Structure 1
Amino acid sequence: MSQWIRFLTFALCVAFTLIFAIAAVWVSWLGLLALVFAGLTLVGVRDMLQTKHAILRNYPVIGHIRFMLEDIRPEIRQYFVESDEDEVPFSREGRAIVYQRAKNVEDKRPFGTKQRVNAAGYQWLTHSIQPRRIENKDFRVKIGGPACTQPYNASVYNISAMSFGALSANAISALNKGAKKGGFAHDTGEGGISRYHREGGGDLIFEIGTGYFGVRDDEGNFDPEKFAKVAADDQVKMIEIKLSQGAKPGQGGMLPASKISPEIAEARGVPMDKDCISPASHSAFSTPLEMMAFIQQLRELSGGKPVGFKLCIGHRREFMCIVRAMLETDITPDFIVIDGKEGGTGAAPLEFANHMGMPLVEGLTFAHNTLRGVNLRDRIAIGASGKLIHAFDIAKALALGADWVNSARGFMFAVGCIQAQACHTNHCPTGVATQDPRRQRALVVPDKAERVYYFHKNTLKALGDMAGAAGLDHPSSFLPHHLMMREKERNMVTGEEIYPYMPEGFLLREDDDRFGYLQRWRRAASASFAPFDQGV
């Protein structure tokens, strides 16, 4: 029944058109009302047939109220509402820039910055009196260490992990087809590779979570033969082991059997009559040394494709345990993705979303400097994810040590997400985060694929313009000293002062204990994640 409530207003318009048209035979002035409702009926028909606005396809006629409120909201906010932008999931101005870039329309804004430039914490990039013009904005980074025989030339901006099942079939199709056209990568999320990933033809980063979906046996354990078959696909460019997710680190998950569709079962390799369990930790390894062996196994089974892992930094010592295992085995991942706790999901307990896991800036800086400290940074590429949407976000991440950036939120906006925060209800109004075929019909794949392509293209253009304004030839040249921030009134500091690059090899020499790196390094062991003593 709830499916049809969305069309109630349109149905009433049709009904009133007929009622007043008939009544006009006896009371002529009722014909005017019939014409009014006939006009609204035609508006509803147009709404359901058009392909540009998902809201109108799902909510004909009444959906126009949302756009009217959007038009007046800035004035309401400015004159009547005192609220902090950080208190909402993402600011309207932030979403507006994404929508403008996705639609390939002008994104310049009048009357200067919308940011609070005089507030503590405000950040900016320094620019040069001699800026440079960067013609080629297709910025790339080569991912693949010494043991990798099929390195991947990745874009510096890619689609972060979002599983089929969490997102609709139409959303996955639009994302992948946009990635194909733009030549950038689409992370599958831990839900396996669906038919909608494959039909788009875009480059895939195949994420393997604790449930080993798509590459598991009947008991839920990792199946090497199934993995080798999946990894052999030319569309799969990299393999990513998910250790933890920024929005809910330390959490597993369960998809009830009632929500498992035939397509989800096909992608995940699970039965439809049982709850689908994602454990909190991996069963294929339990120690840092076993983890390195697993990475080596995946690299061999994939024919030498880049293999890495993703995590939100928790106990810093545990990350150092993994690094010690790299040194002892001489097995290194080709990449590491640092996921900040800012990352979003539709399935995180409130306390986890707010208070578990390390924010991206601190996690990225720690991982980057730890690898520098053991002379492994040149062998391992670093990706960053966690609320990175605009060119400044990317530039900042690159300055603090990342080689490339992934975004989920930005690309969700590009396919029509309005942050209705109904992801967990299956009632997403724009068809992005729902498995309801009637609701996801609103998301028209060809149109949204174009928006994904243009959002990526125009964001990289903005990134190139910022790099050129700083006097650089490539965004990879951003360093901490290009970043500045206000600590408090009349007191500004550089990123180099707060997030410095530690000296190469300092952990091996044990000659620099700034920020507590060395004391944790001494407690880390390759044979176990357990500490020699207490502390993180």
Structure 2
Amino acid sequence: MLWGSIVLSAVAVLVAHRHPLALWALVITLPALAVTLVDLVQTEHSLRRNYPASAHVRWFFEWLRPFLRAYVVESNLEGRPFSIDERSLVYARAKGDVDSHPFGTELDVYSGEYEWLAHSMVPNSGAPKDMRVRVGSDQCSRPYMASRLNISAMSFGSLGANAIEALNLGAKIGGFYHDTGEGSLSPYHRKHGGDIVWELGSGYFGCRTKDGHFDPEHFRDKAQLDQVKMTEIKLSQGAKPGHGGVLPGPKVTREIAETRDIEQGKDCLSPAAHSAFSTPKGLLEFAARMRDLSGGKPVGIKLCVGFPHELMAVVKAMLATGITLDFIVIDGAEGGTGAAPTELSDRVGMPLREGLIIARNALVGAGLKGQVRLAASGKVASGAAIAMNAALGADWCNAARPFMFSLGCVQSMKCHTDLCPTGVATQSPARQRGLVIPEKAERVARFHKSTVNALHEIVVAAGLESPSDFQPGHLRQRINVAEMKQMNEVYPFVEEGELIAGTSHDSLRRWWDAADPDSFRRRVPA
């Protein structure tokens, strides 16, 4: 666009010597050139830096949308990661704009999909602003105080260097953690000193031997860094559960190769299963080893729930071995990714709500919820979403796409092509130029602050002291136009120790009986 504006302006000037009417062309070309030059040097909008002048077409339609809203069938966006309104909320909070909404809710409150949180006639205006949660069992000597909202796993390689830097700087400013994703701990994660949760997948990137197995000494050197607060064993992710990955050789740059401990230019393989363990007890022994190597920092697992008895087998193994995890992150099937087979992302894996309730029941029913913290990940974009997950047992939430929106992502759906127009999900230096790190980091921090503040307002409205006080009865679900139920009337919720006592709901008891601490296979039919 820049060269086009320059050429057109030059042609108009030359032609004007012979044809005075051509001076009118300068009325168009010179302003276009001026706008282009301004766009190239401004730091607020990535699209304008990468696509000067032409990007204004998007801003025009964004301005026009409220006027056409009544005539636009937004249901055509079904299947996209987030709705227009959810994305607009994130943008407004990230930019510091007013996020209030006039005329009340536009949701159909009589729809069977409508749900809400109960509020109290006696709001608790004195509820503490600091709502952090302590992560670390009795076996953890260096617990971590986690924010109620953090940046979910997104690897260097899937995101560009500028995006990683902006996210981590935002986490540093806002005081929350940044999950590395399974692509390992890169220099860009470390540059600004924001809190890190180091995720280890089946490829053990960043701490692997030449043949792809876990390297304890390499792991220890990084896990003991002050910036690394916790480590997380990734068993599966919601967007492609049970599926390994391949980063094609041409995309394995020198930086990515050095970060992941792999060979440059060769395919980077992430197996479907871990080689360090194959049983529930083996998983716990591996986690205990990681905790020792890290110097006593919290260690947990992340998974998308598949067969409930497999998760319960891990819980049974904790009882049998005395080894406890410090936290479990449940990733819902609605979780996002840069690319995944459609069949897996659409039809494999359990949605967050059901997975979270099963994990909550397993821990509470086994008497372990006080030791093992529970987190939720999957389409979390608001304080209300955090509160709803808290009512189902989550101690905190992780989010990925909302923080990408904070960076300027416009959902162009080009993540897997390396052609991201806003410089977020690309390794192209030219495209990454559009993402100005300090400016985007402030947006990341603002979105986090506004969303956590919204959570606090909901805690106050419910008359509670903390998000941890939310219970299933606070969350209501409309069943049909004439019927409403509390969530504990829709799903079974066990009391402390019920699974051990054998007094739990029939389906939960069957899953518990089928769980084997020595194997992920069913012990008896479930």
The alignment partner of 2:100 has SS state of coil
| Partner Cα distance (2:77, 2:397) in 1 | 23
Tell me the CA shift for residue 262 of structure 1. 1.3
Other-structure match for 1:3: none
Which position in structure 1 is the counterpart of 2:29?
37
Q: Which amino acid aligns with 2:511?
A: R
Q: Does 1:88 align with 2:80?
A: yes
In structure 1, give the amino acid aligned to 2:346: N
Aligned to 2:355: 363
Aligned position for 2:519:
528
Q: Which sits farther off after the overlay, 395-404 or 130-139?
A: 130-139
- Equivalents in 2 of 1:114, 1:413: separation in Å? 23
Mapping for residues 394-413 of structure 1, pairs under 5 Å: 394-413=386-405
Corresponding position of 1:519:
510
Matched, 1:385 2:377: yes
Between the aligned partners of 1:53 and 1:251, the Cα distance in structure 2 is 36
Whole-angstrom distance in 1 between the partners of 2:276 and 2:2: 54
Question: 1:35-434 to 2 correspondence within 5 Å?
Answer: 35-81=27-73, 83=75, 86-134=78-126, 136-434=128-426
After TM superposition, give the deviation of residue 372 of structure 1 in Å.
Answer: 1.2
**Which has the larger displacement, 247-256 or 109-118?**
109-118
Distance in 2 separating the partners of 1:462 and 1:371? 28
Structure 1: runs of 5 or more not aligned: 1-8
The answer to whether the Cα contact below 8 Å between 2:127 and 2:464 also exists between their aligned partners in 1 is: no
Matched-pair contact (CA < 8 Å) for 2:170–2:444: yes
Shift of residue 481, structure 1, vs aligned partner: 1.2
* Fraction of identical pairs, as percent: 50
Q: How far off is 1:136 after superposition?
A: 4.7
Paired residues for 1:417-456 under 5 Å:
417-456=409-448
Q: Aligned letter for 1:58? A: N
Residue 346 of structure 1 deviates from its aligned partner by 1.3
Matched positions, count? 526
Gaps of 5+ in 2: none
Q: Is the 8 A contact 2:144 2:230 kept in 1?
A: yes
Q: Which moved more, 1:71-80 or 1:176-185?
A: 71-80
What's the secondary structure of 2:370's corresponding residue? helix
SS in 2 for 1:212: coil
- Normalised to the residue count of structure 2, the TM-score between the two structures is 0.98
CA distance in structure 2 between the partners assigned to 1:366 and 1:84 by the alignment: 33
Of the structure 1 ranges 82-91 and 523-532, higher mean CA displacement relative to structure 2 is found in: 82-91
Q: Once superposed, what is the RMSD of the aligned Cα atoms?
A: 1.3
Rounded to whole Å, the distance in 2 between the matches of 1:144 and 1:82 is 44
Does the residue aligned with 1:378 lie in a helix, a strand or coil? Answer: coil
| Higher mean C-alpha displacement, 499-508 vs 177-186 | 499-508
Deviation at 1:86, TM superposition (A): 4.2
Answer with 186-195 or 65-74: which moved more: 65-74
SS in 1 for 2:191: helix
Query: How far apart in 2 are the matches of 1:272 and 1:469?
Result: 54
Output the CA distance in 1 between the equivalents of 2:33 and 2:127. Answer: 50
Work out whether residues 128 and 465 of structure 2, in 8 Å CA contact, stay in contact via their aligned partners in 1. no
Give the superposition deviation at 1:134.
Answer: 4.6
Report the counterpart of residue 6 of structure 1 in structure 2: none
Q: 1:80 to 1:155 in 2, by over 3 A?
A: closer
Describe the SS at the equivalent of 2:75: coil
Amino acid at match of 1:412: M
Question: Does the 8 A contact of 2:387 with 2:470 survive in 1?
Answer: yes
Which is further off, 143-152 or 285-294? 285-294
The DSSP-based 3-state class of the residue aligned with 1:364 is helix
How far apart, in 1, do the equivalents of 2:512 and 2:293 lie?
A: 32
2:480 paired residue number: 488
d(CA) in 2 for partners of 1:300 and 1:170?
33
Task: Supply the distance in 1 between the matched residues of 2:45 and 2:272 (Cα, whole angstroms).
Answer: 38
Q: Deviations over 1:70-90 (max 9, x none)?
A: 222344442143626644321
Q: How many Å separate the matches in 2 of 1:458 and 1:157?
A: 11
